[in-house]
Structure 1
């Protein structure tokens, strides 16, 4: 089975892009709006400056990937960029296992990796993209200043 970029992303028509990254304000270098969401739940967003950023749900970081939309569109043609940030092999594994997405859903870890969840198929399920992004933003905000290896016993969500 061959995957296209459409298979590796979700349609933003059913996503509230105005609020999607609201729980990531603490990590934003500038105000930004989502422009693309991967099937694995990461977000590419464009800042007011025109720069495009990658909001990594696993690492809890927002990093620049392109100075503008044209450069970003060019990166989407780069197989290494797509492999590194869209995880086509994992999406293919999930699809072959019969795990499919409904509109507005992404693949997310039932127990987030930042909370010691396993990066295995049985820990991945379809989840609403807004819930996925919000929960990860809140978790990463709460743990960002903890030393590596800290045992986490209590997380609060709004």
Structure 2
């Protein structure tokens, strides 16, 4: 099971096109989680684009700190969702080189964080669609119906 995923730069840049509502301009993608979350390096720190949650957060100041975070059980659980990825792998969901785990019904739309809600999908497509969904629902009040399209 690959916990750190790497995709060609043009594919990553295309996948990130729909995330323009977040400040990604000075951040360079480094690698992704099995779920497509993108780890990035900015001018002074390292960042995580959480494609499941729809947020961008600063993680740490150095590459060494990022490595140390991801080398802990808590870090792998929180940022790579290793438990869910391992369960998916054990259930025969094994991504190909261009695929990631994705939720059939995104959690932001009420889907569960469970293997039963997982599918394999092309990285570029999944991350781009997630950005479109998050952009459309980000300003809705809690409980408001989402009208995508």
- What is the TM-score when the length of structure 1 is the normalising length? 0.85
Question: Separation in 1 of the partners of 2:45 and 2:88?
Answer: 32
Which residue number in structure 2 is paired with residue 96 of structure 1?
90
| 1:20–1:34 Cα contact (<8 Å) kept | no
Q: Point out where structure 1 has 5 or more consecutive residues left out of the alignment.
A: none
Q: Is the 8 A contact 1:139 1:155 kept in 2?
A: yes
Asked if structure 2 preserves the Cα contact closer than 8 Å seen for 1:11 and 1:104, the reply is: no
- Quote the offset at 1:54 in angstroms: 0.9
Does 2:89 match 1:69?
Answer: no
1:25 maps to 2:27: no
Task: Give structure 1 regions of 4+ aligned residues with deviation exceeding 4 angstroms.
Answer: none
Aligned residues between the structures? 149
Q: CA RMSD in A?
A: 1.9
1:140 to 134, 141, 144: 134
Residue of structure 1 aligned with 2:148, choices 137, 143, 155: 155
CA–CA separation in structure 2 for the residues paired with 1:15 and 1:103 = 15
**Structure 1 segment 3-152 matched on structure 2, within 5 A:** 7-13=2-8, 16-28=11-23, 30-47=25-42, 49-152=43-146
- The TM-score, its normalising length taken from structure 2, stands at 0.89
Greater share of helix? 2
